Structure 1
């Protein structure tokens, strides 16, 4: 492994470690700590399904293939990941127990059946189990004639070690799929004490396996790969039908992980891993529940009685660039507007879209949709525009992983209303965030919106993103050209203002970096700044190393994966990398080139191979001086953070930024 590069998967695990550490941060309110434990688990689930599912396939079919940065084979990467995950899970169990102990101070407790002291609670729970739960369960004993059941991804089961009357050892299995609606049950008598349905079922196993002695039991859960491509599905009359079949197919992909709680002996765990065709190193024991979705209900309990256990609610502020008393279209015609979510509300953009739906001057609205809210105001505005006779063209990217079903439903609603819906490009995901409103009076006028994040009202409240609205026709013409290419199944190859992947973003970025390299070689001040979610592109890493070696100072705010290692002598001496994990998910992408008269862009693209070479992404220049300076100030503020910021060191570890300056939390600063 080269000193100045890190493995992608191991770098991601370091990010999830930073997420998990928020659950043990004394500055994080108790109810929010619960959220971070849950986010850690959800992140890890997706990591297994997507990344480790891919590595597992690579290990089986291309065992000699190596990672181009760490030079590790798939098997070596899996082994290193499994070792790291076991350590992280041990930490997760510790933090979970600490949180549950703190909840006792607020008279909230999660009991096992054995811990319940009140006899009436036990009696009433047993009666409820007999009446409402047991009829929904289908307990089976594994045998030659009764095979081990199919385990859906994430589905909870209770597995039991049984002994028959002849003394034979058997494995009993009970699916909980039909009883998860009431997973967290409050005890009938002892208020604010709860039991999980899997604990109740485990306590009542003798009723389910009456002819056996129940020796021990565990809750088990299987994670299945989601690494499937639409090219694998060849039947279907339309692309949407292919995607619908893909979603169904994904449910049956091979397992990549077994999780189990303490209880069963090794022999039963070995049997289960064998049934699932898993290596035993893919089995992970847990001292905490396997699914933390029940935390949501506990948070609801606390929210009313103990609001101090949550972040102080701070509503978004109105942008100083927006006048609520004037139409948004007229305001954007007069000057560029930048919104910074969640510090500014998305309402200003939504208001512009609603105005466009009824404005007689508007002839068309074109938009790309990647992830939208379930009851989307954006989709409703587009439907309204179509019903009012506007031409509405929407590119709905059906390959937005794990949002496919929602996007399929939204595409059907748009088509029904009369919108023209297309489904992206063959071979390329469309990840750009583009909206183009075309108006016609005595001339053609474009209003463009270009963003760093999705058109999702829900996530805009806790993802940090930037949204530019501009009536500059030079920008509008290029956005219109992008849509023209998309409608013809093509990609953009030439632009003057916008950076557009997959064909002309990397070259534009490299040209800008080369300008700074030239300045550095002349002994002048040279600077590059990037804010993004991940850095994995090897060509980009090599260009940044070239710039650092030339003397260009490079500042990077990278929330998640970072495969470039800063501070390595002779390679990355002039590169600094920090990561912010806090109240909000850092999601905005910013590119800065130069200190004197800097060129500043906001972008939908991370510095990843997939974004720069296999997706349609767009970066837009900030041509308004006031907005450009605002974004530079925001970027610089991240490097003042000494509360949530962690710095990536030359040994590949992250260390919390500490100094003698007054405490500065950049997200709180933006809020206030």
Structure 2
């Protein structure tokens, strides 16, 4: 029998393969296909830095750790990862080459020296001599000159040099230079370019005069970024300064992967591996450039060709909000829901700004995880504090790869007079929770916002997320308890309405699944619908298997990692799983339990991963508005009907595109069109009035 479990890391690689499929798809506009190649590469880098880095650390332990679903050791997982990545990278190289050939048809060409014309070669040599040589910092590895530190994700040219007495040495030159353009334009205005690192590699012999060049390649190191901040923290240290120092340390962690642009002698590769302290199986040869960020420059050059890009879409005004009226008053009338990126984040930002200026508002409390570089959220919170309101902000400094950004924002908020909390020992705070407390004629009033995504204006245009705003008193009181616990460094032990990890989310989800099992056993209809980024929590997976065995229908829309295999007879045959990978990053989390009038709806910040359900502070909220329940069900059902960007998982754990039979349904495009239509109807009604 097929296993009901899939390894987490191998499942993630299947997700990145689906990203690569978008690059391969003829239906995706050409420049957007290039974006997906770049996303595949950056995803893979982060995967190695975090997940492979973590597995590498596990291998250093005295005792062997086995993964709890497939029983694989860290070494076995890394072996399978490397094997699969080599296959995927061949596909990546192939699609990159295909796309660049198509780009040539639009007048943009990246050349190498084999295709350079004589006058271009003359220009490039002169450019190298005058612009690059004076700035180069060469190193020859020798007894008195140790192997240099190679920065994470930066490109270096490495060369094998032969001395006059036939001894071999290794020479290295950094190719990343902020003073010079990555794409060097050749004269003549014909859209011909060469990458800076290729030019350096070609003329590298000029830098190492007196040596014979025996072999050369571009290389790029990806380093481990997995640091356990809590394990290293000393309570006598200032936490913010400790995190700032930790970020410097992370840049120096051990390598997990070495990328090369050319074949080199095996002895040289082995020498590089010794210097970098990695094994030869971590070396990857790439036909595509080692860093694909220049793709966005090519896109800018082609921006006038609209057919090469997705049709322009702009977040629309929500028709549920009236213009030129108080946002807070409108939320008091009825609960409000915003659906990003289809609807604009502006009503939420306006709510914050209004609260900052409203004399009846006593306090604003908020959890911040990832913010935009120019954050209007921070501006509103600073304004509120300067207006004399109590502003309590939990800034999670352990938001991976956003730590430095969050340190900067925390200093700015503190200077404005906000009370800053830095999370809990042992638990990341990942919740998306905002609580505005107001003194009204009836007494204290809470306006609570709970979302599925970060308070980030940039990602609100790129990620699909939901944002609920309510004056429900019970939800407001429980949100207040969450903030009270956070300020005391504690966690919530019990709640009636919200789901709050780490103590009251997993157990509530399991209880709700049990309730559906009970209904099914009583001969009633039962249903579970989940939309998540990832599913890895074994306790929840096992409970879903139990539900399937009982005959409960389970529909899941899981974008990324899914450690559960559906459709296995007698085990998961009532489980249906799809993954949508398209123009926008699916990020919203929806939990649905029940049928008919007894259906319960929740939205929240938590995926069903153990790290979310028992190792973080997460908040999910029930939806009590009948109008919003209906809307969320409409969103969910439309996504289940997607036959253009959805892949279905079979009982082998393999994903394949859903066949488009009948009416085509690209759920993301349809939801955007719906947002345009709703905004247009509102405008028409306004004109009629």
TM bucket (normalised to shorter chain) is: over 0.9
Q: Which residue of 1 aligns with 2:335?
A: 336
Contact 1:159 1:171 (8 Å CA) reproduced: yes
- In structure 1, C-alpha distance between the alignment counterparts of 2:179 and 2:426, rounded to whole Å: 39
- Tell me by how many angstroms 1:215 deviates: 2.8
Report what 1:491 is aligned to. Answer: 491
Aligned position for 1:222 = 221
**Aligned pair in 2 of structure 1 residues 592, 181: CA closer, same or farther (>3 Å)?**
farther
| Equivalent-residue separation in structure 2 for 1:469 and 1:345 (angstroms) | 14
Distance 2:64 2:2 in 1: 19
Aligned partner of residue 114 in structure 1, secondary structure: coil
Write the distance in 2 (CA, Å) between the matches of 1:233 and 1:211.
51
Contact persistence 1:475–1:498 (CA under 8 A): yes
Q: Does the 8 Å CA contact 2:2/2:568 hold for their aligned counterparts?
A: no
Asked whether 1:287 is paired with 2:287, we answer: yes
Partner of 1:546: 546
Deviations 1:500-548 (A, max 9, x none): 0000111111111111101110121100000000000010111101111
Number of the residue aligned with 2:506 = 506
Distance (Å, rounded) in 2 between the aligned partners of 1:660 and 1:8: 32
Question: Relative to 1, partners in 2 of residues 1:233 and 1:127: Cα closer, same or farther, differing over 3 Å?
Answer: farther
1:208-254 per-residue CA deviation (whole Å, 9 max, x = no partner) reads 01111223311101111011111225486311011111101111111
Change (3 A) 1:180 1:554: farther
Q: Secondary structure at the match of 1:195?
A: strand
Provide the TM-score with structure 2 as the length reference.
Answer: 0.96
| Structure 1 residues 346 and 535, CA gap change in structure 2 (3 angstroms) | same
Asked whether the equivalents of residues 2 and 651 of structure 2 are also in contact (C-alpha less than 8 Å), the reply is no
Residue in structure 2 matched with residue 628 of structure 1 by the alignment: 629
Residue by residue over 1:613-636, the C-alpha shift from the partner in whole angstroms, topping out at 9 and shown as x without a partner, is 000001111100010010011101
Q: 2-side partners of 1:354 and 1:282: how far apart?
A: 51
Give 1:128 shift: 2.4
Task: Tell me which residue corresponds to 2:58.
Answer: 58
Mapped partners of 1:253, 1:387: distance in 2: 41
Query: Residues of 2 paired with 1:265 and 1:327: CA distance?
Result: 70
Higher mean Cα deviation, 273-282 or 132-141?
Answer: 132-141
Secondary structure at 2:536 match in 1: coil
Maintained 8 Å contact 2:553/2:574: yes
- Residue 114 of structure 1: aligned partner: 114
Aligned pair in 2 of structure 1 residues 181, 638: CA closer, same or farther (>3 Å)? farther
- Which residue of structure 2 lines up, in the alignment, with residue 255 of structure 1? 255
**Unaligned residue ranges in structure 1 (runs of 5+):** none
- Measured after TM superposition, the shift of residue 316 of structure 1 is 1.5
Q: Distance in 2 between matches of 1:166 and 1:540?
A: 67
Alignment RMSD: 1.3
CA distance in 2, matches of 1:317, 1:269: 54
Name the CA distance, whole Å, in 2 between partners of 1:390 and 1:671: 38
Provide, for residues 293-323 of structure 1, a one-character-per-residue CA deviation record: whole Å limited to 9, x for no partner.
Answer: 11111111111x2122110111122222111
2:508 match: secondary structure: helix
What is aligned with 1:444? 444
Number of equivalenced pairs = 670
Counterpart position of 2:187: 188
What is the Cα deviation at residue 114 of structure 1?
3.4
Give the Cα separation in 2 of the matches to 1:254 and 1:576: 41
- Residue of structure 2 equivalent to 1:211: 210
Match of 2:663 in 1: 662
List gaps (5 residues or longer) in structure 2.
674-689
Which position in structure 2 is the counterpart of 1:651? 652
- Contact kept? 1:233, 1:246, Cα under 8 Å: no
Q: What SS is found at the alignment partner of 1:4?
A: coil
Partner Cα separation in structure 1 for residue 21 and residue 238 of structure 2: 46
Distance in 2 separating the partners of 1:43 and 1:301 = 25
Matched, 1:146 2:145: yes
Task: Confirm whether residue 393 of structure 1 aligns to residue 423 of structure 2.
Answer: no
Note if contact 1:63-1:74 (Cα within 8 Å) is conserved in structure 2.
Answer: no
Q: For residues 216 and 354 of structure 1, do their structure 2 counterparts lie closer, same or farther at Cα, with a shift above 3 Å needed?
A: same
Give TM-score, length-normalised by structure 1.
0.98
Counterparts of 1:406 and 1:435 in 2: how far apart (Å)?
A: 20
Residues 293, 545 of structure 1: CA spacing in aligned structure 2 closer, same or farther, 3 A cutoff?
same
CA distance in 1, matches of 2:277, 2:43: 24
Q: Which position in structure 2 is the counterpart of 1:428?
A: 427
Match runs of 1:458-473 below 5 Å: 458-473=458-473
- Where 1:296 maps in the other structure, the secondary structure is helix
How far is the alpha carbon of 1:190 from its aligned partner?
Answer: 4.2
- C-alpha distance in structure 2 between counterparts of 1:267 and 1:381, whole Å: 59
Equivalent in the alignment of 2:163: 164
CA distance in structure 2 between the aligned counterparts of 1:29 and 1:477, rounded to whole angstroms: 49
Deviates more, 1:428-437 or 1:121-130: 121-130
**2:308 corresponds to which residue?**
309
Separation in structure 1 between the aligned mates of residue 23 and residue 82 of structure 2, nearest angstrom: 22
Which residue is 2:686 aligned to?
Answer: none
Q: CA deviation at 1:575?
A: 0.3
Contact 2:52–2:256 at 8 Å: present in 1 too?
yes
State the alpha-carbon separation in 1 of the partners of residues 327 and 235 from structure 2: 46
Deviates more, 1:391-400 or 1:155-164: 155-164
Give, in angstroms, the shift of residue 413 of structure 1. 0.2
Give secondary structure in 2 for the equivalent of 1:408.
helix
User: Shift of the alpha carbon at 1:441?
Assistant: 2.7
Q: Distance in 2 between matches of 1:391 and 1:409?
A: 21
Could you say which residue in structure 1 is the equivalent of 2:559? 559
* Distance in structure 2 (CA, Å) of the matches to 1:456 and 1:135: 42
SS of the residue corresponding to residue 79 of structure 2 reads helix
CA distance in 2, matches of 1:233, 1:212: 49
CA distance in 2, matches of 1:292, 1:460: 25
1: distance between equivalents of 2:586 and 2:92? 22
Residue 42 of structure 1 and its aligned partner are, at CA, apart by 0.5
Contact 2:498/2:619, CA 8 A, preserved across alignment: yes
